[in-house]
A and B are shown apart, each in its own frame.
Chain A
Amino acid sequence: MSQATAIHGEKISLLRVLGPAHVWALGVGIVLVGEYMGWNFAVGKGGAIAALIACWAAGLLYTCVAMIDSEVTSTVAAAGGQYAQSKHIIGPLMAFNVGLYLVFAYTMLEAANAITLGYLVQTVGQMAGFADAHDKPFIVLAIMFLAWLNYRGVYATLTVNLVLTAIAFIAVAVLFLGVKPWSTELLHHKEILNGLPYGWIGVLASLHFGLWYYLGIEGTCQAAEEVRSPARSLPLGTMTGIITLLIAATMTWYLCSGLMPWEYLGQATTPLFDAARLTSSAPLMVLLFIGTMFSTLASANGCINDASRAWFSMGRDRYLPTWFGAVHPKNRTPFRSIVFLVPVALIFAYFAPLDQVITFSILSGLLEYTYMSIQVIFFRQKWPLDTIKRGYVHPFHPLPALVLLAICSATYFAVFLGYGTQLVAMMVFFIVASLWFHFHRYKYVRRGDQFTMNWPRPVGY
């Protein structure tokens, strides 16, 4: 395999070895765990029909995210993804905030995955007759092992993700066929579905966890500096990723809502595994248990990859100490950023409750999506289509941006209904961090060096 980037005596860069399949594995791998668990809390908020509406609304939101992301990323092919995009399109303060959104969203999600994995292993231990089985050793092992994998190299990391994600997706598809969706032998939608028990306010509330079906697909563009052909691979991997997730989300909702009443489904820890148990098929149970484990591992793995790239990029631009902007000379990974974020993830996984960790991750993602809707409008205004060559041009502009902004606004309200304190606390944190960056940190930034794209002067400047 040819290597496009390498040590050049005095220079090291990340390694360009990834293809579209790795990009798909990165995006879908982070998200697919949301089909295995988490999405069903939307059912608890407003019933199964509300969860389906949330699934479609969130699907629309993320389709807009994927389209916008594909266009912008195909021109700003840099590690850091949305952080690098916002730096070039809006400015340093926005970029600093977006970088923090990314690191928070992915590190919290990594912690949530590790907690879930520990819980699953503990459950296995208890089922095997070890009543005093603990989850903590396996939470820590999951984080340490995946951090080590990421430390060693991106190609092995995302190849592992490809295998794990493919198996997890196939497991969902096999279960879907296993419940015979063409018959009413196992599925009882007519008897179980009960409309909207809390009315339309329940639908709005369910949007909060509706995001869980797709949260993280935008992480594909963190691989921008490590794919062989960014302009082709990133849009291809991202768009096929969102299509995969739309299919997986629809299959998941259909089979779970036909097997379990909403009162149970709305608070189940592992709804897909529970669905497999209801089929009374041992092979399906084993397959879905493996799928659940693999999806959590793949998600945590992708999160470590993405959080470290965002942190690394901010260090490289001196938004954070430059120490974090180092690349390992042999492994070609942002090794210091990977190691630094390990204790952060461990602290949250070890001490924080799962629902709080998930909420902080969702909130960080939501802030990021809101920014993306504004960013793409600026992007098209400052650099119209005929001024910069794009690898992909998203259609119907500015409709996707406006739809994205509208759904984000509705989701803020949904989050506020359930987690208003966390929402306010997070906003205060970002305001304080912005003040620190503006009045203290920005003086260390080399202002000319941070803008690397060979773009023409923006229209109107």
Chain B
Amino acid sequence: MNNWQILEYAAWALSFALGLYMLIDMIMTNHKYSEDLLTSSREGDIDETLVIDPPHQGGHL
């Protein structure tokens, strides 16, 4: 096995891990929260006074 093949296997493994992460997280989220809450978003919601949720900043890692 040459270095490039190792790189290719690493790419497959990483892809699999990322896919698995999203799948598991999606299943856990579906179980943890009610369907009504998850689908509660409404078009054009721009309520500036909603409660802030600092730990969950949508990508502010």
Q: Which A residues fall within an 8 A CB radius of B?
A: 1-17, 76-80, 84, 125, 128, 130, 132-134, 137-138, 140-141, 144-145, 147-148, 151-157, 159, 225, 230, 313, 316-317, 322-323, 325-333, 335-336, 338-339, 342, 450, 452-453
Q: What are 19 residue pairs bridging A and B, where the CB atoms are less than 8 Å apart in the complex?
A: A4-B46, A5-B47, A6-B56, A8-B51, A11-B45, A78-B43, A137-B8, A137-B12, A137-B15, A141-B14, A141-B15, A151-B22, A159-B59, A225-B45, A327-B40, A335-B22, A335-B25, A335-B29, A452-B44
Nearest residue (CB) in A for B9 is A137
Nearest residue (CB) in B for A80 is B43
Question: Shortest Cβ distance from B52 into chain A, in angstroms?
Answer: 5
Contacts of A128 in B (CB 8 A): 4
Cross-chain contact of B18 among A147, A313, A323, A330 (Cβ < 8 A): A147
Q: Are B48 and A152 in contact (CB under 8 A)?
A: no
Q: Are B41 and A325 in contact (CB under 8 A)?
A: yes
Q: Are B42 and A327 in contact (CB under 8 A)?
A: no
Contacts of A15 in B (CB 8 A): 57-58
Contacts beyond the supplied A11-B45, A145-B15, A332-B58: 16 A-B pairs with Cβ under 8 Å: A5-B45, A5-B46, A12-B41, A77-B44, A78-B44, A132-B4, A140-B15, A144-B14, A144-B19, A148-B18, A153-B57, A316-B42, A330-B29, A330-B56, A332-B56, A335-B25
Nearest residue (CB) in A for B36 is A10
Q: Are B41 and A125 in contact (CB under 8 A)?
A: no
Contacts of A125 in B (CB 8 A): 4, 7
Contacts of A335 in B (CB 8 A): 22, 25-26, 29
A213 to B14, CA, bound (A): 33
The 3 closest A-B pairs by CB, nearest first: A153-B59, A156-B59, A137-B11
Supposing A3-B52, A3-B53, A3-B57 touch, asked if A329 and B4 sit within 8 A by C-beta, the answer is no
Q: Are A331 and B44 in contact (CB under 8 A)?
A: no
Q: Are A7 and B51 in contact (CB under 8 A)?
A: yes
Contacts of B3 in A (CB 8 A): 130
Supposing A140-B15, A147-B22, A316-B43 touch, asked if A329 and B29 sit within 8 A by C-beta, the answer is yes
Cross-chain contact of A133 among B4, B18, B25, B56 (Cβ < 8 A): B4
B60 within 8 A of A: yes
Q: Are B15 and A144 in contact (CB under 8 A)?
A: yes
Q: Are B8 and A10 in contact (CB under 8 A)?
A: no
Supposing A78-B44, A79-B43 touch, asked if A152 and B61 sit within 8 A by C-beta, the answer is yes
Q: Are B43 and A12 in contact (CB under 8 A)?
A: no
Nearest residue (CB) in A for B61 is A156
Q: Are B39 and A155 in contact (CB under 8 A)?
A: no
Cross-chain contact of B46 among A17, A76, A77, A133 (Cβ < 8 A): A77
A342 to B21, CA, bound (A): 13
Contacts of A313 in B (CB 8 A): 43
A184 to B43, CA, bound (A): 56
Q: Which one of B22, B41, B60 has the greatest number of beta carbons of chain A within 10 Å?
A: B41
Contacts of B56 in A (CB 8 A): 6-7, 329-332
Contacts of B39 in A (CB 8 A): 316, 322-323, 325-327
Q: Are B58 and A9 in contact (CB under 8 A)?
A: no
A196 to B44, CA, bound (A): 50
Contacts of A330 in B (CB 8 A): 29, 56
Question: Shortest Cβ distance from A163 into chain B, in angstroms?
Answer: 14
Question: Shortest Cβ distance from A160 into chain B, in angstroms?
Answer: 9
Question: Shortest Cβ distance from A77 into chain B, in angstroms?
Answer: 6
A11 to B49, CA, bound (A): 13
A84 to B45, CA, bound (A): 13
Question: Shortest Cβ distance from A129 into chain B, in angstroms?
Answer: 9
Q: Are A12 and B4 in contact (CB under 8 A)?
A: no
Nearest residue (CB) in B for A118 is B11
Question: Shortest Cβ distance from A257 into chain B, in angstroms?
Answer: 36
Cross-chain contact of B51 among A6, A156, A450, A453 (Cβ < 8 A): A6
Contacts of A130 in B (CB 8 A): 2-4
A71 to B48, CA, bound (A): 23
Supposing A77-B46, A134-B8, A335-B29 touch, asked if A155 and B60 sit within 8 A by C-beta, the answer is yes
A156 to B58, CA, bound (A): 8
A154 to B48, CA, bound (A): 19
Q: Are B37 and A8 in contact (CB under 8 A)?
A: no
Contacts of B4 in A (CB 8 A): 125, 128, 130, 132-133
Supposing A13-B45, A137-B8, A339-B22 touch, asked if A331 and B59 sit within 8 A by C-beta, the answer is yes
Q: Are A5 and B8 in contact (CB under 8 A)?
A: no
